[in-house]
Amino acid sequence: MATQVVNGGREIGNQKDDASSSPFLSLNHVSYVCRSVPTSVKFYTDVLGFVLIRRPSSFDFEGAWLFNHGIGIHLLEMETTPAKTGVINPKDNHISFQCTDMDLIILKLEKMGIKYVTALVKEGGVEVNQLFFHDPDGYMIEICNCHVLPVLPITSCPTKKHKPLPQINHPKSSHDETSYSCGEDEVWMMDNLLIDMMGISF
């Protein structure tokens, strides 16, 4: 069923009541308040390879826009920005970037005297390397090879094996009768998800 949407008395169109009508496209940028724009710009360009891009001239406050890796970082200068804790806690709020050469990032961090911690996540025979460190204002950053970890909807990756759909030939697992690896049965689960999304029954 379609619903007419009105904003401030102005009709802006009809929105369908289903997920396919979502107007969102992708993440555009993250914005950080920093004590020194030049210092933060140097960090993000030297360590993470960001480049400065043009910023609207109508802004009447100090700041900078950077872009790379399909995402923007907007810096806003505020001298009274409180310093964050110096403890590197992987469970803290952070932004993460995928990387194909972790050693290169580590070399850059060590050259710049930036402290970091590493972690290893194992899932279904897949290993994800993680590297955590802070920017000049204490914001947490993660570098990882997360692209090796399958992206699986939680509804299609149960912790216990359910009876397979009679219409789908589920591959035998090398694990026991009650559990299996999400990575091992990724293809099967994604096939089921696709069928669910398409609403097709055979």
Nearest one of 142, 139, 143, 141 to 32, comparing CA atoms? 139
| Choice among 11, 77, 123, 142 that is catalytic | 142
* 142 is an active site residue: yes
Q: H or E element: which one contains 199? A: none
In the chain, the N- to C-terminal Cα span, in Å, equals 27
Q: H or E element: which one contains 99? A: none
Q: H or E element: which one contains 39? A: helix 37-46
In 8-112, at which residue ranges do the beta strands (DSSP E only) sit? 10-16, 29-34, 51-53, 63-68, 71-77, 94-98
Neighbours of 121 (CB within 10 A): 12
In sequence order, what are the beta bridge partners of 127?
Answer: 122
Catalytic residues: 142
